[in-house]
Amino acid sequence: MAIPERDQGYFDQPATRKKLWLLLWGFCALTVVLELFIEREPHFPQENFFGFYALLGFLACSGCILVAKGLALFLKARTDYYDDADDQ
Amino acid sequence: MTTLTINNLPPGLILLLGALLVPLFRGRLRNWFVILLPALAFWQVSCLNEAAVLSLPFLDFELNVLRADVWSRAFGYIFTLNAFAAFLYGSYQKKSTEFVAALLYIGSALMVVFAGDLITIYLFWEAMAVTSVYLVLASKTTKALAAARRYILVHVVGGLVLLAGLVLLIHDTGSIAFAAFAREGATPATWLILIGFLINAAAVPFSSWLPDAYPESTVLGGVILSAYTSKTAVYTLVRGFPGWEILIVIGCAMTLYGIIYALLENDMRRILAYSIINQVGFMVVGVGIGTPLALAGTVAHAFCHIIYKALLWMSAGAVLYRTGRSKCTELGGLYNTMPWTLILGGIGALAISSVPLTSGFTSKTIIIAAAANQHLFWAWLILEIASAGVFLHAGIKFPYFVFFAKDSGLRPAEAPKSMLAGMGLLAFLCLSLGMFPERLYDILPNSELVKAAMPYTFSDIYLHHFGHVVTQSQMLIFSGLVFFLFLPLLKRTDTISLDFDWFYRKGGELFYHFMDSILNRINRWTNDTVALSFTATLSRYVNDGPARLWLVVVKPLWQMSRVRIEGADGAEARLLRLFRTSAFSIGSAAIFSIGLLLMLLLL
């Protein structure tokens, strides 16, 4: 990046980014650890599986991204794709 | 017929009449007047109760223009509250066009919500379509003009489908009352009405009009449009089609469709438009489940959704207003100079993601609990997946690409004070409804039931049911983790995504070419054979007919007298020429006439 580090905004500095990554992983770990101590109120037996919601969040989101990526092959178009049609 | 008094004044009428007075005011006074109107309407909603009725004669029917029960009042509160915040936000405006259109649009939406009969609903349903299009047109770009044209066409079609259903229904039953339609014995009339409602709810596959038109609207227009058309449709679905199982399927499809398209999108306001469809999907599922808890959850979710979605549109609008840009590829790093817009919009982003302590957490949870109570495992699972996906696209993607991601070099000023005031009010509501939802639960239909089934005090939600807070946080934080792990895959490109509108935009063009090649080919062939060849033959035959008849008589005579018949100046050619030009000598014409007369006499 051309901008010198001291001129970068706080959130653009590599040091901050590193801290934020640690925070993110730390929070992930915290929620999983907390799960050991909570009372469960499951509606379905699947919910009793340890880390169910972590897995659900992870799989659902990566699934959505991969599906979106796959569909993008068919659905992405240049921004002027419709221009001829709309001019008529 | 009942007379109109302050006790049975429909709240929508305050906005509709107020809109007509707006041009009388100028400058700051006008903006305060516009803000005052929804406040008055809100107060009127709080004064109304079931006892207030207003009926008007129309043809052979009595229109029930005011039905102020707990359902319509809940929507009345949020419609007026949101209008108040939106006008506060929009009071930086110098022109009144958008205010008048917005007041007429919101007023019509309120009239639909408080109407007790189908004819009134239909009239104001169409009024909403017509008035809302001005909020798109007001941005005065060629793209907006084209989008507005498609928008109004879709709504005209939707309105006609609804009208066809209503006419059939009123013809069958003779009643114009708007009550729940029975799932058993559904007729074509009820299906048409359902489709008419679903088109306005932006249900798949009638969804593409929303992300097509809303992102082309003005800054204030987008904020206002995001709330009313689809939520009015949700209201009519709640009242008309509770427990129709097909809505569970449609709603689930909407939640996933919204996520996938929002992930593909580059335009920030289009991301938010797709997330409206995603959120309305939750409500449509709630209607489909149809239990009292699910319906109350739907109303609660509509209430909270309007607030945080308007807040998100406001923050996107502020960015657009200050930078003139809307594409993620052209934005980034705005946290440097627009921190308040980021913080307030961020609260909206957390609320839509149902993060604990925000309103999404206390409203969406009701619908998901209702699905679980009915043991609808797949619906429940899809709603949970969709909840995770919401965080991905609306909760992180929108703020990340606009305010962080890369330094775009843009250093716009912070949003104007009026904008921050509107956003501040809604952000406050997002948080207070998330921590103290009792006030909301009290105005819901079946409120006793909701309060029996759901925790509603701060300590109950966040201490006694801490387990739910942990599982919800766990799901969301892992969704966030996925976002940042997959960031290279999510890099924005300056592209658009093809949606259902392809069928009427490109499809329409293809249809045109298809019909052009078929119909015009038939046309050319007809021209060649009928006009050019057949008619010419017929005309020659008619022209030469008498001459040829005459030839039959005279040819033997010529042959006997050895006259030259063939050739360009032969007798035959001369005779034909004579008949074609009708250049008969006077003598021969006279002889022919006498012969004709003699023949008539003899006959």
Is residue B115 within 8 A of residue B54, CB to CB? The reply is no
Q: What is the mean pLDDT of residues B217-241?
A: 95
User: How many angstroms separate the CA of residue B62 from the nearest CA in chain A?
Assistant: 44
Least Cα distance to B291 among B166, B449, B134, B88 occurs for B449
Instruction: Kindly give, in sequence order, each residue whose CB lies less than 8 Å from that of residue B43, ignoring residues fewer than 6 positions away.
Output: none
| CB–CB contact A35 B466 (8 Å) | no
The DSSP letter of residue B177 is B
A61 touching chain B per CB within 8 A:
yes
pLDDT tens profile B549-579: 888 888 888 888 888 878 777 888 888 888 8
Distance between CA atoms of residues B123 and B457, nearest Å: 42
Q: Give residue B17's Cα distance to chain centre.
A: 25
Q: Kindly report the three-state secondary structure assignment for every residue of B325-356.
A: CCEHHHCCCHHHCCHHHHHHHHHHHHHHCCCC
Least Cα distance to B42 among B87, B79, B5 occurs for B79
Least Cα distance to B420 among B343, B496, B519 occurs for B343
A25 touching chain B per CB within 8 A:
yes
Least Cα distance to B183 among B255, B118, B248 occurs for B248
pLDDT tens profile B286-297: 999 999 999 999
Q: Looking at beta carbons, which residues of chain B come within 8 Å of A86?
A: 146, 505
Q: What is the ipTM of this complex?
A: 0.88
Global confidence as pTM: 0.86
Q: Looking at beta carbons, which residues of chain A come within 8 Å of B490?
A: 65
Q: Looking at beta carbons, which residues of chain B come within 8 Å of A54?
A: 474-475, 478
Distance between CA atoms of residues B304 and B366, nearest Å: 12
Interface A-B, measured as beta-carbon pairs within 8 A, has a size of 151
The percentage of residues in chain B with a pLDDT greater than 90, rounded to a whole number, is 71
pLDDT recorded at residue A87 = 47
Minimal-distance CA residue of chain A relative to B212: A82
| CB–CB contact A9 B478 (8 Å) | no
pLDDT recorded at residue A88 = 42
Strand partners, B497: A76
Is residue B314 within 8 A of residue B223, CB to CB? The reply is yes
| CB–CB contact A60 B498 (8 Å) | no
B516 touching chain A per CB within 8 A:
no
Helices in A3-87 by DSSP H: which ranges? 14-35, 52-75, 83-87
User: Lowest mean pLDDT: which of A25-29, A61-65, B410-414, B509-513?
Assistant: B509-513
| CB–CB contact A65 B392 (8 Å) | yes
pLDDT confidence band for B313 (50 / 70 / 90): very high
User: How many angstroms separate the CA of residue B287 from the nearest CA in chain A?
Assistant: 20
Torsion (CA) B209, B213, B214, B220 in degrees, nearest 10: -150
A29 touching chain B per CB within 8 A:
no
pLDDT tens profile B141-150: 999 999 999 9
Instruction: Kindly give, in sequence order, each residue whose CB lies less than 8 Å from that of residue B569, ignoring residues fewer than 6 positions away.
Output: none
| CB–CB contact B494 A79 (8 Å) | yes
pLDDT tens profile B355-403: 999 999 999 999 999 999 999 999 999 999 999 999 998 999 999 999 9
Reported in sequence order, the residue ranges of B383-525 that DSSP labels E, i.e. its strands, are 495-497
Residue of B384, B407, B477 with shortest CB distance to A56 = B384
Residue of A27, A44, A58 with shortest CB distance to B482 = A58
Least Cα distance to B381 among A65, A31, A57, A15 occurs for A57
Three-class SS state of B183: coil
Q: Looking at beta carbons, which residues of chain A come within 8 Å of B392?
A: 61, 64-65
Q: Kindly report the three-state secondary structure assignment for every residue of B479-495.
A: HHHHHHHCHHHHCCCCE
Three-class SS state of A32: helix
The tens place of each residue's pLDDT in chain A, 88 residues long, gives 445 555 677 888 888 889 999 999 999 999 999 988 887 778 888 888 888 999 999 999 999 999 999 988 888 888 888 876 544 4
| CB–CB contact A65 B490 (8 Å) | yes
